[in-house]
Structure 1
Amino acid sequence: MLDDLPMSRRQVESVATSDGAVNIWDGSIRSGKTIASLLRWLMFVATAPRGGELVMIGRTRESIARNLFGPLQDPALFGPVAAHVHYTSGAPTATILGRRVHVIGASDAKAERVIRGMTVAGAYVDEITVVPEEFFTQLLGRMSVDGSRLFGSTNPDSPSHWLKLKFLDKLSALPHWRYWHFTMEDNPALSRQYIDQKRTEFTGLWYRRFISGEWVAAEGAIYSMWRPARHVVPWASLPPMRRLLAAGVDYGTTNATAAVLLGLSEGGRLYLVDEWRHDPRTGAPRLTDGQLSGRLRSWLDEPHLPAQPEMRPEWVAVDPSAASMRLQLYRDGITAAAADNDVGRGISLVATLLAERRLLVADRCRGWISEVSGYSWDPDATEKGDDRPLKVADHSLDAGRYAVATTEALWRPHLLDPVGLAA
């Protein structure tokens, strides 16, 4: 298998020496860490001990399908072995080399209950830093089969993150752990042009974490890559849209209620195409849920695209804490989904899309544009190892994030690689 897959010396070294009870790959984006760790996982599954379950874990089953099974089932990466990896996105189990593998989403602390009582012979954990500490601790305790192994990869996070503080900083006291740090130069599939492009696109926190691969605290502006001249487009010049995916809605009573529409263009870019806001702090009257619902529904029925006035959003994703508003919308004929409100992941997703210019913003989204430059990290939360924004002037930003994060499974397969997009 190694002969068929072009790999760097660093990747080969990590595969050859990942014989610990716990084996962790971290580093920058597109650095080859995931491919190396997945190759090692395949090798382990082929000879994994019996008497326990095999599990693959990530934030959600959908993210596992995208991040792990997508590469595993690609013959260009894993040759004929890819035909022996069988998984349908969203399913609770997969089959790899004839072995049943449980596929588990671990998006919150309650997820650790899923593996209580389970005996685990082998585990692969995707994006370890987004898995709750309680789940990871429970998983380590479940791996009691002789010869059991855990493999996992992650991008760096805060230096106060539990994985860094409790494990990576104490590797000298953990002789059964193995750890490798990767940079983009460790991926032989990347051209120098691509690496240089990424280095110019990302700034601040995202540069240090995603490009340099540093465990660094969040501080200052969140979307430091934001440039109006680079990211704002005239509404009248919007390109044709393949789909108008969703309206993300952030709900407020004394604060603003904002809705932002997300579209996927025929050319493979995401656009925030239109926005509606009702803000009592600017002199607008306070409205009941019924009144807000009525105004929002009227706006949703308006034309939102210059060349496709008939197109309407396929989904409405509302702040999950706004149960009363979702109920009101349902009574008024709109089935609204509870938005994905994993704040850290959503911000990271939007930041990456902005940096790569795979997300642009129409000038009709005035609230979003006015909020983005001042959006900053909360220094008190940073001291506790938590990446959390200051809750100030963020209603349109939250609405846009809901639309982007909640519909990722819909737009991700159609988004062009950033190399294919004009600068």
Structure 2
Amino acid sequence: MPLPLSPAQIRSIVESQDAPIALWSGAVSSGKTIASLLAFLLRLAVSPDQGLVVIVGRSLNTIERNLLDPLQSAHLFGPLARHVHHTAGSTTATILGRTVHLVGASDARAEGRIRGSTIVLAYVDEATLIPQPFWMMLLSRLRVGNQSRLMATTNPDGPFHWLRKDFILRKDAIGLHHWHFTLDDNPSLDPQVVQRLKAQYTGLWFRRFILGDWCLASGAVYDMFDEHRHVVDILPYMRRWTAVGIDYGTVNPFSAVLIGQGEDDHLYAVSEYRHDSAKALRQLTDAQYSHNVRQWLANVRRPGEQGGGRGVLPEWIFVDPSAASFMNQLWTEHVPGISPAVNDVLDGIRSVGVALGSGLLRIHRSCEGLLGELPGYAWDEKAAERGEDKPLKVADHSADALRYALHSTAHEWRHLIDYKEVSGAAA
């Protein structure tokens, strides 16, 4: 093989061949996917012809990106890559001469795609993201005597997740073999890549994706937030006015947060507009909110300019996607740059956590609503006990506005993180 294998990878590949259920879990980029795919290829080569071979992922796109693209890489799999054939968008691939069915399992209804099948070999990517009913149906389809095998990878989730509770903790009783991987188990990783990965994950995700812990989503969501590190009184000149994030509310507070990129290449929450109808004893209409947001932006002071210029035109205004009527109001008034925000809550929290944890994001002291919410923004521990990662829906309006602005533009700013600086701060 072109890439070296660690003792942990080799051991898992060998031991998995006789395991009815084989599970690789642990840190991101720890080598578990390469080891599991090699194990899959070895098992595929000796599997009986009766029964289907399936690869399961969250979607066809994730299967292509996470599995088929690596399998077709000569850098990773050498001559074996020539025996992996797939046309983008097709629900089958040919691997080592066998037809392999590609099954997306984004919800419980996906179990209908394998119901009635007889499966001899299954590979599951990111098993914690697969619905439990689908997993259980998949197990029931492995019925080619003692020749059927299920191989799966995953990053850890919460300690009450069904995969840990019903399978990992009962592994001896059900014939599951489990290998836990850390970053040190991947000998091909460059030390700078390790440093970058450690900087990209903070809080809950650092524990899960770097340390490989199956840990509870508890306590503060942004436990890396530090007033002394993140709050500033003086702003630099802004080379870009990147985005505004808006969390819409009528009974609940309406919040808008303006993000700029300073000449020092840090991101700044420069200013905030907030209307709390409960405190003001007055609800506003969409037209009134639109007027107020435009007036607020027209009066934002541009720091670092002689004469104290005012008024900014952000590149984007990302609005809570559920606020369709407010977006229509803005579009009707020809406000530029309006777009529904990317509202993947957990991924968005992770983006904000990366910006805070790396020190890239600073917040001006005038953003009182945001600064009042961030320290108390907490995980819902009752939801965590049900196996769900959810923040409490309490005092989160400015925090949501910040998430909309940052996560919707994450591709614009991640390259700004100085990983050497992060490593030095962590040390």
The one-letter code matched in structure 2 to 1:360 is: L
Residue of structure 1 in register with 2:249 after alignment: 252
Q: Cα RMSD (Å) of the superposition?
A: 4.4
Judged with a 3 Å threshold, the aligned counterparts in structure 2 of structure 1 residues 36 and 352 are, in CA distance, closer, same or farther, namely: farther
Deviation at 1:376, TM superposition (A): 1.5
Contact 2:271/2:300 (8 A) holds in 1: no
The one-letter code matched in structure 1 to 2:160 is: S
Residue of structure 2 in register with 1:156 after alignment: 156
Measured against aligned partners, the alpha-carbon deviations of 1:103-141 in whole angstroms (never above 9, x if no partner) come to 5251x4455455556665544333322333233223333
TM norm structure 2: 0.75
Judged with a 3 Å threshold, the aligned counterparts in structure 2 of structure 1 residues 238 and 184 are, in CA distance, closer, same or farther, namely: farther
The counterpart of 1:18, out of the listed 16, 19, 22, is 16
Percent identical among aligned pairs is: 41
Contact 1:61/1:104 (8 A) holds in 2: yes
Please state if 1:77 is matched with 2:114: no
Measured against aligned partners, the alpha-carbon deviations of 1:205-227 in whole angstroms (never above 9, x if no partner) come to 44433333222223222211223
Corresponding residue SS for 1:4: coil
Residue of structure 1 in register with 2:182 after alignment: 183
Residue of structure 1 in register with 2:390 after alignment: 388
Judged with a 3 Å threshold, the aligned counterparts in structure 2 of structure 1 residues 199 and 339 are, in CA distance, closer, same or farther, namely: closer
Judged with a 3 Å threshold, the aligned counterparts in structure 2 of structure 1 residues 287 and 235 are, in CA distance, closer, same or farther, namely: farther
CA distance in structure 1 between the partners assigned to 2:15 and 2:369 by the alignment = 52
The one-letter code matched in structure 2 to 1:395 is: H
Contact 2:238/2:260 (8 A) holds in 1: no
The one-letter code matched in structure 2 to 1:389 is: P
Deviation at 1:170, TM superposition (A): 0.7
CA distance in structure 1 between the partners assigned to 2:416 and 2:87 by the alignment = 23
Judged with a 3 Å threshold, the aligned counterparts in structure 2 of structure 1 residues 399 and 309 are, in CA distance, closer, same or farther, namely: closer
Judged with a 3 Å threshold, the aligned counterparts in structure 2 of structure 1 residues 297 and 336 are, in CA distance, closer, same or farther, namely: farther
The counterpart of 2:402, out of the listed 387, 400, 403, is 400
Residue of structure 1 in register with 2:377 after alignment: 375
Q: How do 1:233-244 residues align onto structure 2 when only pairs under 5 Å count?
A: 236-237=235-236, 240=239, 244=242
Corresponding residue SS for 2:376: coil
Higher Cα radius of gyration:
2
Contact 1:271/1:360 (8 A) holds in 2: yes
Alignment gaps of 5+ in structure 1: none
CA distance in structure 2 between the partners assigned to 1:101 and 1:326 by the alignment = 42
Please state if 1:318 is matched with 2:320: yes
Corresponding residue SS for 2:123: strand
Contact 1:248/1:400 (8 A) holds in 2: yes
Corresponding residue SS for 1:224: coil
Alignment gaps of 5+ in structure 2: 305-310
The counterpart of 1:5, out of the listed 3, 6, 12, is 3
Q: How do 1:54-73 residues align onto structure 2 when only pairs under 5 Å count?
A: 54-58=54-58, 60=59, 63-64=62-63, 66-69=65-68, 71-72=70-71
CA distance in structure 2 between the partners assigned to 1:116 and 1:61 by the alignment = 18
Deviation at 1:163, TM superposition (A): 0.9
Residue of structure 2 in register with 1:217 after alignment: 216
Residue correspondences, number: 409
